[in-house]
Structure 1
Amino acid sequence: MLKKGSKKLINAWSFYDWANSVYSLVISTAVFPLYYSAITKDETVVFLGTEWAHPDSLYSYALSFSFLIVAMCSPILSGIADYTGNKKKFMQFFCYLGSISVMCLFFFKGVETIWVGIICSMLASIGFWGSLVFYNAYLPEVAYPEQQDAVSAKGFIYGYIGSVILLVINLIMIQMPDTFGITAGLASRISFVMVGLWWMGFAQVTFARLPANKTYQKPKKDYIWKGFKELKTVLAEIKDYPTLKRFLIAFFLLSVGVQTIILLATIFGSKELGLETISLIITVLLIQLVAIVGAAVFSRVSKRFGNLKALKITISIWIVVCFCAFLLHKDMPNVSLYFYGLGGLLGLVLGAIQSLTRSTYSKLLPETNDHATYFSFYDVTEKIAIVLGTFVFGFLIYLTDSMQWSVLCLGLFFLASLIIISTLKKTKYVR
């Protein structure tokens, strides 16, 4: 078994970002939202016997529901995983659920199969976020506190590079389908299969090297109830750590904005600003490439000036992004250039804020073996935030028939998070 802090173990852990980030980019952010938007454009769709005049709201609510399921299940699963020492098995299960569901999106061919698109995208979302509960919980086990900022950033950098490579391949197929003897719609559907195979295949590198059983406790007949007891214990412990508790509140507020923007940015550009698909894909690529630099830069900023100051800088930039997006409208001259500029600014802080929040939380944890249970709180906090964010976004679209007010509302969540982060006290590892 590889030793904690070893280069091989750290690289193996980080490589899961390379594997699964293609889902985050191609399915959550780029190709699938645009494919869904094109399929449902000017259409009233029927799902579960209900007509939806705003298909974008249906997609937003479906994502909310998937995150709610993960939020409800992950504390129980992670508690069981901590007690039985089976984090890797749970991580594998969700990885395979997600990757297979993504491949099944191939059968989403039009509005008549909208149920395939909605159900499979929900299951893929559950698989992706469910696996991250256990992936994140490995961070304190693969790296020491002084390594965790850099290791967390390395994971995101791997993810951005891998996902950009596959997105470029998919983009070539979608933009030049005649070269491959297929239609643009079929090219998009083939890209969904490629994402699933990439995710499942490269994840094997991580699964081969991560420790399978950290605690070596033999499961007893009541180990499911032990999971509930572990959860209750951690709930009580968090109340005794005010800095950790306040950080989770701030993390909840910023996650409302971060994840909702990631999920719905391309639909905003398509529907609200009327941008062409190629412009949106270019923006997504720009965000990913700049995010590689941003994650590395802010890792150094946090090392020199501390996590809290680095977080305050990134949150402030997110507030600027939301306000500027609110001011954009489709009739502006050169609106695509402004959108590119916002994409570059967003990319600078996208990887940074995800990396910094993960490593900061890891540093704030008390001495414990229940890493999966503690990280389930982190993930549940994020999922409930996404439930709120995507619901608010979809509901404001329904009320105003515009996404601009939804974006401005997200900026208020960032502002509240910044205020709370500014009140946090410094600790031994977090300053």
Structure 2
Amino acid sequence: MLKIGDKKLINAWAFYDWANSVYSLVISTAIFPLFYSAVTDGETIYFLGTDWQHPDALYSYALSFSFLVVAFISPILSAIADYTGNKKRFLQVFCLIGSLSVMSLYFFKDLDTIWVGIVFSILASIGFWGSIVFYNSYLPEVAHPEDQDRVSAKGFIYGYLGSVILLILCLVLILSQEVDADKLKMMRYSFVLVGIWWIGFAQFTFKRLPNNVFNKKPDRDIFWKGFKELRMVMKEVKNYPTLKGFLVAFFLLSVGVQTIILMASIFGSQELGLDSTGLIITILVIQLVAIGGASLFSNLSKKYGNFKALKISLFIWMVVCFGAFMLHKDLPNVDIYFYALGGVLGLVLGAIQSLSRSTYSKLLPETEDHATYFSFFDVTEKIAIVFGTFIFGFLSAKTGSMQWSALSLAIFFVAAFVVLSFLKGTKYVK
């Protein structure tokens, strides 16, 4: 078994980002939302005995449901995984669920098969986010605390590179067709490619990641014992004020970060009137800049400390929110400004996600319950997503503009900045 800090182990762990990030880019952000919009095209659709006049709302509700499912099951399953020492198996199962569900989206063809798109979108999201819990929890077991910022950034860099490569490949296939129906068919083939990429490259990670690092020998009744493990960790979190405070800051910044990620393309298309080509260009710009951003802020954290590096990134996120507020479709060259804003966003996108993961990892006490602790990290993010998207939609409906919704997210970045400012440093986090 490879030991903690071994380069082969670190590379194998980081490579899961390469494998699964194609889901978040191609499925969540770029191609599937465009395919879904093209198929539904403002039509009233029938699902679960109800007529839906706004198909985008149904898709949004489906994703929110998947986040709530993961938020509910991940703490329990993580506690069982920690108790049994079988964390790797859970990672593999969620990876399998996600990749097979993504490939099954191929069978979503028209309004008659809308149920296929909704059901497998939910399952793919559960598979992706469920696997992330167990993947993240391996960080303290593959890298020493002083290396975790760099290693976490390495994972995100691998993810951005891999997802950009596959997205470009999918775009080449789609744009090679001239007829819209053929383009939609190529989009469906791209879903299959995502699933194959995800499950295929994940095998490299599974081959080298250890299982049962702490040599657990579970008794029977693992569900009840796992639940007791969860209760124990919940009590322990209260004894670590910096860890607890960081979870509060992470919730606040995640409201802003995750909402912007999910709503950026909708803001560009509906609020600014940008075409799909312009939006995909922006997405690619964000991904490519994020590679450098993750590396840059990893070095900043090494020089100035995690909290200061995070606060710098939060300030830039505030600028992004204010910049989005200033944009409107009648502004000359609004597309150029949107691309530029995407570049700024990319600079801090990988940075804040990577640093949040490594900071939380370095704040953990000496423990064998890494999966359980990281389930709290994951649940915090999922609740933030539901909360943030609700606020964004509510303000958009009330004001008739997404500009105020974008500006409101700056409040959460300010609040996160304030919370971080009051947290005391620890041995590995300053």
Question: How much has 1:398 moved relative to structure 2?
Answer: 4.3
Question: How many matched pairs?
Answer: 430
Q: 2:65 is aligned with what amino acid?
A: F
Matched-pair contact (CA < 8 Å) for 1:61–1:391: no
Report matched runs for 1:182-197 at 5 Å.
183-197=182-196
Q: Secondary structure at the match of 1:46?
A: strand
Cα deviation per residue 1:350-403 (whole Å; 9 max; x = unaligned)?
Answer: 000000000000111011011111111111111111121223333444444543
Paired with 1:400 and 1:97, the residues of 2 have a C-alpha distance of 40
Where in structure 1 are there 5+ consecutive unaligned residues?
none
Whole-angstrom distance in 2 between the partners of 1:212 and 1:182: 46
Q: State the match for 2:20 in structure 1.
A: 20
Equivalent residue, structure 2, for 1:284: 283
Unaligned runs of 5+ in 2: none
One-letter amino acid matched to 2:341: L
Matches within 5 A, 1:169-188: 169-178=169-178, 183-188=182-187
- Residues 42 and 55, structure 2, Cα contact 8 Å, conserved in 1: no
Deviation (angstroms), 1:107: 1.7
- What is the one-letter code of the residue matched to 2:213? K
Alignment of 1:199-278 (within 5 A): 199-278=198-277
Map 1:119-130 to 2 at 5 A. Answer: 119-130=119-130
2-structure distance, mates of 1:314, 1:34:
30
For residues 154-189 of structure 1, give each alpha carbon's deviation from its aligned partner in whole angstroms, at most 9, with x where no partner exists: 00000000000000001111222249x971111111
Counterpart of 1:403 in structure 2 is 402
1:80-105 CA deviation, whole Å, 9 max, x = no partner?
00010111000001001111111111
SS at the partner of 2:380? Answer: helix
* TM norm structure 1: 0.96
Check whether the contact 1:60–1:394 (CA below 8 A) recurs between aligned residues.
no
Q: Distance in 2 between matches of 1:87 and 1:282?
A: 38
Alpha-carbon contact 1:98-1:125 (below 8 Å) kept: yes
- Partner residue in 1 for 2:69: 69
Question: CA–CA distance in 1 between the matches of 2:237 and 2:192?
Answer: 41
- Shifted more, 38-47 versus 415-424: the winner is 38-47
Task: Find the aligned partners of 1:321 and 1:46 in 2 and give their Cα distance.
Answer: 38
Aligned residues of 1:63 and 1:387 also touching (Cα < 8 A): no
Report the counterpart of residue 383 of structure 1 in structure 2.
382
Partner of 2:43: 43
Deviation, 1:314, is 0.6
Alignment partner, residue 321 of structure 1 = 320
Q: Is the contact between residue 54 and residue 398 of structure 1 (CA under 8 Å) also seen in structure 2?
A: no
Aligned twin of 1:306: 305
Call closer, same or farther: CA 1:409–1:114 in 2, change over 3 Å.
Answer: farther
Partners of 1:288 and 1:24 lie apart in 2 by 11
Give the distance between the partners of 2:287 and 2:81, measured in 1 at CA.
33
Give the aligned CA root-mean-square deviation in angstroms: 1.6
Amino acid at match of 1:114: I
| Structure 1 Cα separation of the partners of residues 171 and 104 of structure 2 | 20
- The DSSP-based 3-state class of the residue aligned with 1:317 is helix
Q: Which moved more, 1:406-415 or 1:140-149?
A: 406-415
- Measure the CA separation in 2 of the matches of 1:58 and 1:393: 16
- How many Å apart are 1:426 and its aligned residue? 1.4
How far 1:216 moved relative to its partner?
Answer: 2.2
Query: Which amino acid in the other structure matches residue 7 of structure 2?
Result: K
The equivalent residue for 1:93 is: 93
Compare 83-92 and 118-127 and name the one that shifted more. 118-127
Change (3 A) 1:38 1:332: farther
Q: Name 2:330's counterpart in structure 1.
A: 331
Choose 199-208 or 415-424, whichever is displaced more: 415-424
Deviates more, 1:362-371 or 1:408-417: 408-417
Aligned partner of 2:370: which letter? H
Measure how far apart 1:14 and its partner are. 0.3
SS state at 2:46 partner: strand
Return the offset for 1:8. 0.3
Q: Deviations over 1:270-319 (max 9, x none)?
A: 22222111111110110000000000011001100111111001111111
Amino acid at match of 2:389: T
Runs of 4+ residues over 6 Å off in structure 1: none
* Distance (Å, rounded) in 2 between the aligned partners of 1:111 and 1:329: 33
CA deviations 1:170-213 (Å, max 9, x no partner) are 1111222249x971111111111110100000000000000022
Deviates more, 1:3-12 or 1:399-408: 399-408
**Distance 1:394-1:113 versus aligned 2 partners, 3 A rule:** farther
Compared with structure 1, are the counterparts of its residues 94 and 182 closer, same or farther at alpha carbon in structure 2 (3 Å cutoff)? Answer: same
Relative distance call for 1:51 and 1:410 in structure 2 (3 A) is farther
Match of 1:183, SS state, is: helix
Matched, 1:30 2:30: yes
Q: Is 2:158 the counterpart of 1:158?
A: yes
CA distance in 1, matches of 2:191, 2:103: 5
Q: Which residue number in structure 2 is paired with residue 142 of structure 1?
A: 142
The more displaced of 222-231 and 256-265 is: 256-265
Give, in whole Å, the separation in 1 of the partners of 2:36 and 2:269. Answer: 11
- Maintained 8 Å contact 1:57/1:395: no
Counterparts of 1:60 and 1:280, CA distance in 2: 19
Q: Following TM superposition, by how much is the alpha carbon of 1:39 offset from its aligned partner in structure 2, in angstroms?
A: 2.7
Cα distance, 1:36–1:326 mapped onto 2, change above 3 Å:
farther
Structure 2 CA distance for partners of 1:113 and 1:328, relative to 1, 3 Å: farther
**What are the Cα deviations for residues 91-139 of structure 1, in whole angstroms up to 9, with x where unaligned?**
0010011111111111222333222222211111110000010000000
Q: Is the 8 A contact 1:98 1:127 kept in 2?
A: yes
CA contact (8 A) 1:29 1:265 kept: no
274-283 or 106-115, which deviates more: 106-115
SS state of the match for residue 51, structure 1?
Answer: strand
Q: Does the CA-based 8 Å contact 2:23-2:128 persist in structure 1?
A: yes
> Within 2, Cα distance between the matches of 1:266 and 1:104?
24
